Amino acid sequence: METETKPVEKQTNCLGCNKPLKKLKKYYRDGKYYCTKKCWLKAVSAKKGAEEEAKK
């Protein structure tokens, strides 16, 4: 039996601001791409804020 693997989808937009990613300008952290370090920090802080709200 052959196991079929799903093709990996290429990330095309920044997860922080949803802008299209350019080939030369990418910021890679934790397996995801962002357009700048600022967008990465914004996404991380938003995630932490959501987790704190869920604890309350």
**pLDDT digits 0-9 by tens, 1-56:** 677 777 778 888 998 899 998 888 889 998 999 999 999 999 999 988 888 888 77
Q: Which pLDDT belongs to residue 1?
A: 61
Residue closest to 34 by CA, chosen among 18, 55, 53, 10: 18
Q: Which pLDDT belongs to residue 23?
A: 80
Q: What is the pTM of this model?
A: 0.69
Structural domain boundaries in the chain: 29-56
Q: Which pLDDT belongs to residue 53?
A: 84
Q: How far apart are CA 7 and CA 52, in angstroms?
A: 35
Instruction: Say if residues 27 and 43 touch (Cβ distance below 8 Å).
Output: no
Q: How far apart are CA 19 and CA 45, in angstroms?
A: 18
Q: Which pLDDT belongs to residue 40?
A: 92
Helix (H) or strand (E) holding 33: strand 32-34
